[in-house]
Amino acid sequence: MADVVNFDEHPADTLKAGKKFKLGDVDPGSTPGYAGDKAEGEKLLSELDGKLTNLQEQLFAESRIGGKKRVLLVLQAMDTAGKGGIVNHVMGQMNPQGVQLKSFKAPTPEEQSYDFLWRIEKEVPAAGMVGVFDRSHYEDVLIHRVHRWADAEELERRYRAINEFEARQTAAGTKIVKVMLHISRDEQQERLLARLEDPAKRWKYSGNDLKERAFWDDYMDAYQAAFEQTSSEHAPWHVVPANKKWFARIAVQQLLLDALEGLALEWPVPELDVEMEQELVRRS
């Protein structure tokens, strides 16, 4: 059996949106740090499923004895970029009891009566959990910038509020993994057409996708601004080329593995006499 092809360079490094990062320089069809093909990438994804599941269980187990650690995966992208695929193919291998998934839609009238982070704070994962935000607080600086629903002063306030929010979460034990799945405009067009052509996927299509597509360049500018304003040391952004769905999945899997391994998780040691308990079980 052939060896599994691993990353030559870790996505935590190659995909990080650093100080000089420019979204326009990223090729959505590339596979940074990975020399394998689709079949090899899918094999790697499968090979590491068990490791990811084991680390998630350790995270959950630690919380049973007072551990405060948790992970929050923030997924942002243009429509059809593959957020659902990440949830299904990467997060889907985890124990669902240890995963908190929240998809943020347009705010309700009640939510609009509070600051934009009010509804976000309530959905932060509990200790021991892996949380996933399918869209997030970043919608309030992306779409609001594109459609000018917020002026420059309000946007600056929101960037600051986001940085403060994420710093608080980090201090409380949350490891934040922020991912933008980056597809090309042409790739999005192909995926929208594919949805319309397939009766099993047609329900996913929304005319609103087409409306927002008209603002593509504005969205790219809004993402660039968000990276510049909110990619911090404790919560950096990672831009994942996503024209190749298989690559996006293995890249996000690697980012989650890196986050969990960085928490230095350990199995709890119960306060009991193992030999005595074994004997009691045998007699039961």
Q: What digits encode the pLDDT tens for the residues 139-171?
A: 999 999 999 999 999 999 999 999 999 999 999
Q: What is the mean pLDDT of residues 205-221?
A: 93
209: confidence class by pLDDT, cuts 50, 70, 90: confident
The verdict on pTM exceeding 0.85 is yes
According to DSSP, residue 16 is labeled B
Give the angle 200-204-205 at the CA atoms, nearest 5°.
110
pLDDT at 208: 87
pLDDT at 268: 87
Residue 275 has pLDDT above 90, yes or no: no
Q: What is the DSSP string of 11-64?
A: HHHHTB--TT--GGG--TT--TT----HHHHHHHHHHTHHHHHHHHHHHHHHHT
For 130, phi and psi rounded to 5 degrees? -105, 115
pLDDT at 277: 83
Q: What is the mean pLDDT of the chain?
A: 94
pLDDT at 2: 52
Q: Give the rounded percent of residues in the chain with a pLDDT score beyond 90.
A: 87
Identify the residue whose tokens are 């309030």: 140
For 133, phi and psi rounded to 5 degrees? -100, 110
Two structure tokens written together for 144: 């609001």
According to DSSP, residue 265 is labeled -
Give the angle 51-242-208 at the CA atoms, nearest 5°.
120
270: confidence class by pLDDT, cuts 50, 70, 90: confident
Q: What is the mean pLDDT of residues 186-212?
A: 92
93: confidence class by pLDDT, cuts 50, 70, 90: confident
For residue 4, give the nearest of 32, 30, 42, 50 by alpha carbon: 42
pLDDT at 282: 92
pLDDT at 104: 93
- 39 sits in which H/E element: helix 38-47
**Picking from 84-98, 112-126, 211-225, which range would have the lowest pLDDT averaged per residue?**
84-98
Residue pLDDT, tens place only, 37-90:
999 999 999 999 999 999 999 999 999 999 999 999 999 999 999 999 999 999
Q: Is 93 helix (H, G, I), strand (E, B) or coil?
A: helix
Q: What is the mean pLDDT of residues 190-203?
A: 93
**Continuous H helices in 113-230:** 118-121, 139-146, 152-171, 185-197, 207-213, 216-230
pLDDT at 1: 40
Dihedral sign for Cα atoms in the order 11, 13, 14, 20:
positive
